[in-house]
Chains A and B, each alone.
Chain A
Amino acid sequence: MSTEAVPFKVADLSLAEFGRKEIRLAEHEMPGLMAVRAEFARSQPLRGARITGSLHMTIQTAVLIETLVALGAQVRWASCNIFSTQDHAAAAVAVGPDGTPEDPKGIPVFAWKGETLPEYWWCTEQALTWPGQPGPNMLLDDGGDATLLVHKGAEFEAVGSVPDAADDDPEEWRVVLAVLRASLADSPGKWTAVAAEIKGITEETTTGVHRLYEMAKAGTLKFPAINVNDSVTKSKFDNKYGCRHSLVDGINRATDVLIGGKVAMICGYGDVGKGCAESLRGQGARVIVTEIDPICALQAAMDGFQVARLEDVVATADIFVTATGNYNIITAEHMSKMKHQAIVGNIGHFDNEIDMAGLARLPGIRRTNIKPQVDEWTFADGHSVIILSEGRLLNLGNATGHPSFVMSNSFTNQVIAQIELFTRGEEYPLGVHVLPKHLDEKVARLHLDALGVRLTTLTKEQANYIGVPVEGPYKPDHYRY
């Protein structure tokens, strides 16, 4: 992949008008972001911020990007998944509200639906490369790929070389190493300089947050991070309510099977798994949960779900969904034992929850593409399974991800976290932080009016009685909601 500088790269600029119409509709469904725009329009707290974003390039993300711009930031963007870009959203962001496809005036975005892995990492690198600047001074990450590239680049620059991939390394890691190898040859010291500029990173998702805590623990984290994922108004809403909506949407769009009466396995009963289980049950499926954590397993049982081991029920279920954040959850061997045309999909962040490589290596396996993001894999014995989005998160690959309202909660946290790190960085030392509770409550507050919620206000006496300020925060930090 060429490293030649281009202002942006999207699939088709002529889609911009359609994207702009959808952005306009989404803005109405994202009251938190619009309220933040109104609140900070004058003070411009992100003036001087150069934000590199690596996050699914969807319509909702377009509203986030334009909110960051409205608060004074400069922004460059890539998607964080090869399938999750909505091309009309990317086009609209590149063209901008005031530009035209002939004269684009938007922000540099590098994203299209159906990137190859080399293309994907090229896009990530482009978003991190600021012409005439040493690099971004803020990262907004989803899954930690931008963070990883900066950290690994700086790490390899420090030792002066990029290691060779091991035989059992996944394909994607080979691509990352290739990108960094080219970068070290081309512009040595680039990532060290980038890392030095960055004031902080805000991370969107469980998987990325997990990486950040690992890095902090290992002492390799190079700048402070805000864990946006664990804001209550993010994880409890986006993960649960968002997936509850978009899982079924994705399965329906991909397969149009009647879910009522089917047996569905949900691997993982965290926030995402809880939303998935509820939505499939709501459609009339009988849901079986797998868990490794006794607390989550007990929760599933108390919610009335059968909790089983995958190998014990793999031959009886019709729909399999992974939501663990772990890898090798559904193996090739599992898939070989499934019912004919069982549907297998993943709603976890990465594509390693389902062992696609192992599936592809099975002797005699045959892949038939049914339609985009829907493949039938036929085993040597003639029976087959349907894989959604090649094992990547199906709610984005097969549908349109979380709906705007849910994302408004998540992204309002992102914007507030960016403001916090950029303007009050001294209060966030190196490490991983969560947003203080009063900001979490603020995000929720910004979404109440749109739903017609009439909030009750504590009297002074009541506030004193339970020992909280009238205006909040109302719960201790350890409260679990």
Chain B
Amino acid sequence: MSAPSASSPQPAQAVPPQAMPAQSTPSQVADPGQAAAGLARIGWAEHAMPVLGLIRDSFEQQQPFAGLAVAACLHVTAETAVLVNLITAGGGRLHLAASNPLSTQDDIAAALAAEPGVTVFARSGVDRRAYYEHIHRALDAAPRLVIDDGCDLVNTLHAERTELLAGVRGGCESTTTGVARLRRMAAEGTLAFPMVAADASRTRRMFDNFYGTGQSVIDGILRATNTLLAGQVVVVAGYGPCGRGIAERARGLGAQVIVTEVDPVRALGALMQGFRVLPMAQAAPLGQVFITATGSRDVIGPGHVAAMRDGAILANAGHFDVEIDVRALAELSAAVHPAVRPHADEYLLDDGRRLILLAEGRVVNLVAAEGNPASVMDLSFAVQALALAWLAGEGGEGRDGRGGPDGQMSSLEPGVHEVPAEIDTQIATLALASRGAGIDALTPVQQEYLDSWRQGS
């Protein structure tokens, strides 16, 4: 282990001041025998994640997480594994639970469980009880830092593991949905530690939501249905960064795209981009493929389902499975034929129409495809990694002598914090370098011109 830099926290010498129930549980994965297969896929993902590679090099040098327990609730995929390995390379011990009952890749879970410094609690296809059970087992390690994806781990901490709260120095949350939950917690004054909103960085918005989700949601729908999108009417609910990406990619494949929105500014953006904008009630009888990307609930409800065409495909790209009212769909149906294809269930309505629900209404790009491409997750996870290192380091000058690797809490107030702009700049710079792209730098004269208000026309 190389010597940490001056700005890095000291490796843990002292045990945490409070007596924590820090009894890590052994990994729980579906089949440890799949580790070799998982390892090969992690290697593949590493090649597509050059920014994380560069960060890993620096973490190995600087050991920002030396001795720290990190609990993470993330989709257990090959890309996540690269992030996990980078945190352990930086000296952390990582305890990983799945952030979705269906998205776990069992070979990856097995490979990670075999890594030193990592324990994994994840199996694909678990029920709700086992899902939360896994989160509790990850929390058993009494984490100093947390990484969350949808806020279930942070929520569980605050609701059921309050004894651990005092030891948490901070964490980051990667989804917009999770950040929204965190902000509500902060507004109520219940959020006990600082959380970085890693969803909201510029690189994240641009690459992950727009490019990554845009491509992988289409990928999921194609894999699940093998439908030809050209010529079809695709209804995209929500025109945020994800919805925009989905709409553009669907159009690129020859679909006729209709957008539904509740926000007039976003709706106007869709309109000016040449999309048809309709209320869902009017879009419902027109669409052949419906994709929800709103972050809200009941976007497709019983009234819409009742109006849909025979054979319509329903998919959700939002984080939670509440955007399509699956229960209402089931109640309207005379019969359900599960898994007519993998991740495609056929709902037979009373009048003989069939509607195809993908991935049980859960996030389709992760369930039916492989989530965001590795090169996109490279940037998202770079935000997480650097934000986490920032949390681990920045707090060294903290206030009350508790919680940090050196026994201190973060200097940041409890609440939701934006990603520091320097991290965004740093990631974009690394990403450009890894792609061989060069950019210009402002000359001193240009900088002076931009800073001045004196020069006019």
Contacts and interface: CB of A to CB of B under 8 A. Distances in A.
Contacts of B320: none
Interface string B417-435: 0000000000000000000
B273 A301 contact: no
A462 B230 CA distance: 34
Nearest to A280: B274
Interface string B258-279: 0000000000100111111000
B274 A260 contact: yes
A301 B255 CA distance: 8
Interface in B211-264: 230-231, 251, 253-257
B274 A285 contact: yes
B309 to A, nearest CB: 15
Interface stretch (A74-82, A302-310, A379-387, A434-442): A302-310
B272 A261 contact: yes
Nearest to B229: A304
B38 to A, nearest CB: 39
Contact of A260 (B230, B255, B256, B273): B273
A287 interface: yes
Contact of B276 (A281, A286, A303): A286
Contact of A305 (B253, B256, B271, B272): B256
Nearest to B250: A304
A125 to B, nearest CB: 47
A301 B231 contact: yes
Contact of A284 (B253, B273, B276): B273
A360 interface: no
A298 interface: yes
Interface residues of B, number: 15
A301 B231 CA distance: 4
A278 to B, nearest CB: 11
Given A304-B230, A304-B231, A287 B254 contact: no
Contacts of A303: 230, 254
A281 B251 CA distance: 11
Contact of B274 (A286, A298, A301, A302): A286
Interface string A303-334: 11110000000000000000000000000000
A261 B271 contact: yes
Given A304-B251, A304-B255, A287 B274 contact: yes
A413 B324 CA distance: 58
Contact of B272 (A260, A298, A302, A306): A260
Contacts of B275: 286
B192 to A, nearest CB: 47
B233 to A, nearest CB: 8
B272 A301 contact: no
Contacts of B257: 304
Contacts of A305: 256
A261 B255 contact: no
A261 B272 CA distance: 4
Given A261-B268, A302-B230, A302-B231, A281 B274 contact: yes
Contacts of A261: 268, 271-272, 274
Contacts of A286: 271, 274-276
Most interface-central of B256, B257, B273, B275 (chain A CB within 10 A): B256
A133 B275 CA distance: 60
Interface string B21-37: 00000000000000000
14 contacts: A260-B272, A261-B271, A261-B272, A261-B274, A283-B274, A284-B272, A285-B274, A286-B274, A286-B276, A287-B274, A301-B256, A302-B254, A304-B251, A305-B256
Interface of B: 230-231, 251, 253-257, 268, 271-276
Given A306-B256, A306-B276, 13 more contacts: A261-B274, A281-B274, A284-B272, A285-B274, A286-B271, A301-B230, A301-B231, A302-B254, A303-B254, A304-B230, A304-B231, A304-B251, A305-B256
